[in-house]
Amino acid sequence: MKKSQEQVGFARELRQKQTDAEKALWMRLRSRQLQGVKFRRQEPIGSYIVDFASFERKLIIEIDGGQHNEERIKERDEERTTRLKERGYQIIRFWNNEVLTNLEGVLERIMEALR
């Protein structure tokens, strides 16, 4: 599926406005630092833009802020997860706070998902 120019522009904007948690995780995922796996950040997949994706391993990592506790957003996240799983992706989610306070634990869970 071809990415629209609008999606690519929005993804570029998101990369420039990363949260502290996204920045911290990206510094550990970039340049194949984790088990030699290539990750991309703020990457369009279908009609969604995911936080981090490994296309070779079909793994998506999402970093959620507190707004993801709101019912409307929870429902949207569930729909998004369903659609991405239909495309063969495994999705793992972390809270911003979890990344910032337990980055090594987050990385361990990602490595488990990669095995």
pLDDT for position 11: 56
- Whether domain 5-104 has CATH 3.90.230.10: no
Structure tokens at 55: 């296309």
pLDDT for position 70: 73
Could you tell me the pTM of the whole model? Answer: 0.85
The residues of the chain scoring below 50 in pLDDT are none
Distance of CA 22 to CAs 8, 26, 100, Å? 18, 6, 9
pLDDT for position 62: 96
Residue 115 is classified by DSSP as -
